Chain A
Amino acid sequence: MSGSLAFVFGLPLAVVVFFFALAAYERRTGVAVGGGFFQRNGLAIGLYLVLAVGFWAFFIILLPQLAMVDMSFRPKLPPSQMGGPKDLYTLENYRYFLFGSTTSTAEWNWLHIKAFFLTIGVSIVITLINFAICYPLAFHMAQSATAARLRVLLLLLILPYWVNEILRAFAFRVLLSSGGIINQMLMGSGLTNEPIDFLGADVGLYMGLSYAYLLMMIFPLYNAIESLDKNQVEAARDLGAPWWHIHAFIVLPHAKPGIASGCTLVFMLTAGALAAPLVLGGPRTLWFTPIVYDRFYQAFNWPQGAAYAFILLVSCIIFVLVVLKAFRLSLGEITR
């Protein structure tokens, strides 16, 4: 156990030493000019910068992630046996995700595998739908709306997002419940005689998820399209380009970073959403995050929960990399 403490303090120290060595090397070889870090910032401020960023990068970001990954490869043990002879690295938690408990007769752990692929698949579909819903409005706001109108539109867009995620999901429950207004309207108009069970069929969940992160799509799109010179669109129009040519060959290529950033955000938030599945999901709903949650607080199997969380994290990283590759962008371009 003292080994891991040495790591916790050793890693940040090693990195800081590396940075100063690199700086000294660059100054000696003439790559960098000017004074050193502490000369440039003064001692007090220099210390503040190093400590604040060091604490953030290591103790808030990196070490917790590493601790989670480390735990996911360990067996579930009572606290007294942690660090003991039984505390060996194992793939048991990942095996469980694929094949289920060793006592079960089923060949694969279908429940969890299905939930995982459903979550990823539905998240991708929701991301695409949100893009389709948001694009026309983002284009209008960025290219043809007047300043006064833009102000109103922005206010209307932001308003729902001050209400937190759980309440937004709750609104959909009120709307779609069997005695809710949608069912009342459907029955009143004679379209159905029985209330439709939107929530049981997960329609409510998917709508709530799409709704929850609409803003994360529209703002990156708006920002990207806004920087496009209006004259380019005008010129294409004057030269007789049909409207879909203008979008496909001028606006979309220009807005690429915004599209990638909106898609990554929406996908990540949807796949990692916990509030909407808890509020809108039925007892038979398959969604991956509540399963992860239950590993911790129902099964009390933390290593297994950590393994499940790591699986989710890896799929999100893969998604981001695929999007970056497909759009030929760097990470810096999409997090602007």
Chain B
Amino acid sequence: MNPGPFQRVMFALYTVIFFLYLLGPLAVMAVSAFNTPQYPQVWPIEGVTLDWFAALFADQDMMTGLKMSLWIGLLVVCISVPIGLAGAIIMTQIQPRVRSLYYLVVVSPVLTPGIIIGISTVVFWRQFTGQTGTRFLYDGVVLTVLGQASFISAYCMLIILARLQRFDRSQEEAALDLGASYPQVFRHILLPFLKPALASAAVLAFLSSFENYNTTTFAILSDKTLTTVLAGRVRQGSTPAISALAVVIVAVTVIGAIAYEIYKRRSDAAAAARQRAALDAEEAELAGRTPAAAMG
């Protein structure tokens, strides 16, 4: 791979423009969160202030919406991860001749526009709860969780399925031969093997739920989540408090990403140390045994 100097310069230029496009708008918005004018303004900087953050945290609707979003996110994780797990296991066991039909059905929400999922959820549950006398279930939180669960479960299933396909069935057979029951195999062999996938599915489920707008805006009915409150605020007009919210979200994300990176490096290092110790022990054992074997 030896691109010429011209190609190299062109590529560098392209990369710079790409990331300017990607990060520039956010940087501009971030600056406007600290500038004093009433309307989000980047230049000239008329004074540095933290008032917009105070205004953001004083906004009652926004804070109620935030609590609602966190609550819905948790519920979605509790529903979507078990459904995704079941969906993935069924995928490996279903009769081959109907597998592609099953796949089509459960993956279709990923390829369906979010507003259609929201609309159909509301339409169906309004009829269903009306007919079965379970009107109390016709509630913004319930509908939002169900609507979001449709495609978030599919994300979870795809993540879990990717790992499940590498599962060695002979482990399960060995456990069964040794007298383990099915629930024991599930709990002590399959679940630990799938743990990393389950964890990433849970994180992804929470984040997708937290930032969802298209499905939520229909399914939430008269309640409010952070994204629907935000949409209302943005439609009313621009205030730097909205920029401040973006700054808070980015800050939380960066801290989270760094914490995760540190945690991962530590656990990688610990795993590497364990492996090295095991190798050393093995070597020592081999070294100790060889002379003994020679003597024998």
Contact with A along B20-59 (1 / 0, CB 8 A): 0111111011001000000111110000000000000000
Check: B78 CB closer than 8 A to any chain A CB: no
In whole angstroms, what is the CA distance A217 to B81 when docked?
25
Asked whether, in the complex, the Cβ of A279 is within 8 Å of the Cβ of B234, the reply is yes
Asked whether, in the complex, the Cβ of A5 is within 8 Å of the Cβ of B132, the reply is yes
The contact of B25 among A37, A133, A211, by CB within 8 Å, is: A211
Q: Which residues of A have CB within 8 Å of B249?
A: 162-164, 167
User: Which B236-287 residues sit within 8 Å CB-CB of chain A?
Assistant: 238, 242-243, 245-246, 249-250, 253-254, 257
Chain A nearest CB, measured from B131 CB (Å)? 5
Asked whether, in the complex, the Cβ of A174 is within 8 Å of the Cβ of B253, the reply is no
Interface centre among A64, A170, A274 (most CB of B within 10 A): A64
Closest chain B residue, CB of each to CB of A161: B211
Asked whether, in the complex, the Cβ of B246 is within 8 Å of the Cβ of A171, the reply is yes
Given A167-B249, A316-B111, the answer on whether A156 and B125 have CB atoms closer than 8 Å is no
Asked whether, in the complex, the Cβ of B22 is within 8 Å of the Cβ of A157, the reply is yes
Asked whether, in the complex, the Cβ of B231 is within 8 Å of the Cβ of A64, the reply is no
Check: A118 CB closer than 8 A to any chain B CB: no
Asked whether, in the complex, the Cβ of A159 is within 8 Å of the Cβ of B254, the reply is yes
Chain A nearest CB, measured from B64 CB (Å)? 17
Check: A175 CB closer than 8 A to any chain B CB: yes
Q: Which residues of B have CB within 8 Å of A8?
A: 128
Contact with A along B62-93 (1 / 0, CB 8 A): 00000000000000000000110111011001
The contact of A19 among B98, B125, B218, by CB within 8 Å, is: B98
Q: Which residues of B have CB within 8 Å of A168?
A: 25-26
Asked whether, in the complex, the Cβ of B19 is within 8 Å of the Cβ of A156, the reply is yes
Chain A nearest CB, measured from B23 CB (Å)? 7
Check: B153 CB closer than 8 A to any chain A CB: yes
Given A49-B86, A162-B253, A170-B29, the answer on whether A293 and B22 have CB atoms closer than 8 Å is no
Asked whether, in the complex, the Cβ of B131 is within 8 Å of the Cβ of A170, the reply is no
Check: A68 CB closer than 8 A to any chain B CB: yes
Closest chain A residue, CB of each to CB of B94: A19
Check: A180 CB closer than 8 A to any chain B CB: yes
Asked whether, in the complex, the Cβ of A332 is within 8 Å of the Cβ of B246, the reply is no
The contact of B113 among A66, A166, A316, A332, by CB within 8 Å, is: A316
Asked whether, in the complex, the Cβ of B238 is within 8 Å of the Cβ of A177, the reply is yes
Asked whether, in the complex, the Cβ of B121 is within 8 Å of the Cβ of A64, the reply is yes
Q: Which residues of A have CB within 8 Å of B113?
A: 268-269, 271-272, 289, 312-313, 316
Q: Which residues of B have CB within 8 Å of A279?
A: 231, 234-235
Closest chain A residue, CB of each to CB of B90: A53
Asked whether, in the complex, the Cβ of B95 is within 8 Å of the Cβ of A278, the reply is no
Q: Which residues of A have CB within 8 Å of B167?
A: none
Chain B nearest CB, measured from A39 CB (Å)? 9
Can you pick out 30 interface pairs between chain A and chain B where the beta carbons lie within 8 Å of each other?
A5-B131, A19-B95, A41-B93, A42-B181, A44-B183, A49-B89, A52-B87, A53-B90, A61-B150, A67-B128, A68-B119, A136-B14, A156-B22, A159-B250, A166-B213, A166-B227, A170-B246, A173-B238, A174-B25, A177-B238, A180-B42, A214-B22, A233-B1, A265-B111, A268-B111, A289-B113, A293-B217, A306-B123, A313-B116, A320-B111
Q: 16 additional contacts, CB 8 Å, given A64-B121, A331-B104?
A: A5-B131, A42-B181, A52-B85, A52-B86, A60-B121, A67-B127, A67-B128, A133-B18, A156-B19, A160-B22, A166-B227, A171-B25, A180-B42, A268-B113, A289-B115, A320-B111
B positions within 8 Å CB-CB of A = 1, 11, 14-15, 18-19, 21-26, 28-29, 32, 39-43, 82-83, 85-87, 89-90, 93-95, 97-98, 100, 102-117, 119-121, 123-125, 127-128, 131-132, 146, 149-150, 153, 158, 162, 181-183, 186, 207, 210-211, 213-214, 217-218, 227, 230-231, 234-235, 238, 242-243, 245-246, 249-250, 253-254, 257
A positions within 8 Å CB-CB of B = 1-2, 4-5, 8, 19, 22-23, 26, 32, 37, 40-42, 44-45, 48-49, 52-53, 55-57, 59-68, 71, 133, 136-137, 140, 143-144, 155-160, 162-175, 177, 179-181, 184, 211, 214, 233-234, 237, 264-265, 268-269, 271-275, 278-279, 289, 292-293, 296, 302, 305-306, 309-310, 312-313, 316, 320, 330-332, 335-336
For the complex of A and B, 4 pairs with smallest distance between CB atoms = A272-B113, A42-B182, A52-B86, A164-B211
